Amino acid sequence: MRPLPHTPSDAPHPLDLSLYLVTDAALCERAGRSVLHTVQQAVEGGVRVVQIREKHASGRAFLALVEAVARALPAHVALLVNDRIDVFLAARAAGARVAGVHIGQSEIPAALARQIIGPEAIVGLSANAPVTLDEAQALGAAGVVDYVGIGPLHPTATKPDADAGKGLPALTALRARATLPAVAIGGVTAADVPALRAAGFDGAAVVSAICAAPDACAAAQTLRAAWDAAIALRTPHVKAIAP
């Protein structure tokens, strides 16, 4: 697994997928917080990956948000940009510590994204069916993709174009098929975390569970505690980590 961006004087940090926040500006606003404030609270509560997702923002506004979040994050927390390769490149050019991108199935091909952003950045890919998961596996073996997002576990209003919730048995079957590191996503709550970790997932990705919570730090702490307490329940899963 590729390490996170670091300065020559710092030791590299490994990518920790265990608690993964995907931002939603509308949910944050309804909860009375900015995206930046939500991220800061969530990281204080134990989030280890932050993916900035802005489907309706201009490129300039998206870039400004990514730069602001990058300045606020400690070095051990990975910052990813959802879909927008241009925003990732611009943020990197401006000196922001941005670890990589996460790409959906309807966006530019992951192999092309890897060519554009280079060999050191992290590339995540949504893979929500056996065929897309198998394609992701091949991309992982080629060094293109570092991890996959599998879902949705439950129906979710934050992504109206997503499939209906697949449920735990279907996600467990997809996870068993995967050799890449994988996070589960789609309406995930703290109550789901023990079963997801037992199924071999490397992390829980959440949107509403933190962005819509009255207290983002407390929500993250609850998810963090659930993940950490589930260690003993986990079924060992042998993975071929992308080089």
Residue stretches of the annotated binding site:
51-55, 82-83, 107, 126, 156-159, 187, 207-208
Residues 6 or more apart whose CB falls under 8 angstroms from that of 183 comprise 17, 20, 147, 148, 149, 150, 201, 202, 203, 204, 205
* Both structure tokens of 73: 């994050």
The Cα–Cα gap between 243 and 239 comes to 12
Query: Beta partners for 50?
Result: 21, 79
* Both structure tokens of 106: 């309807």
239 is catalytic: no
53 is catalytic: yes
- Set 18, 114, 126, 224: catalytic member: 126
Kind of pairing between the strands at 100-103 and 203-206:
unpaired
The Cα–Cα gap between 228 and 242 comes to 25
- Set 48, 84, 114, 159: catalytic member: 159
Give the number of other CB atoms < 10 A from CB of residue 93.
9
18 is catalytic: no
- Set 48, 53, 84, 166: catalytic member: 53
DSSP E strands in the chain: the ranges are: 19-22, 49-52, 78-82, 100-103, 122-126, 147-150, 182-184, 203-206
Per the annotation, binding residues for Mg(2+) are 83, 107
Query: Beta partners for 20?
Result: 49, 205
Residues labelled catalytic? 53, 126, 159
